[in-house]
Amino acid sequence: MLGFTAAETSMRAVQTLAKAYEDRAEDYTRAAERTDDPVFRNILLMLALQWRLAAEEETSKSSEICRRNQLS
Q: Are 19 and 59 in contact (CB under 8 A)?
A: no
pLDDT digits (tens, 9 = 90+) for 55-64: 999 988 866 6
Q: Are 44 and 35 in contact (CB under 8 A)?
A: yes
Burial of 44 (0-12, 13-18, 19+ CB in 10 A): buried
pLDDT digits (tens, 9 = 90+) for 11-61: 566 568 999 999 999 999 999 999 999 999 999 999 999 999 999 999 888
Distance of alpha carbon 67 from alpha carbon 16, whole angstroms: 19
Distance of alpha carbon 5 from alpha carbon 3, whole angstroms: 7
Distance of alpha carbon 65 from alpha carbon 51, whole angstroms: 21
Residues shown for the chain: 72
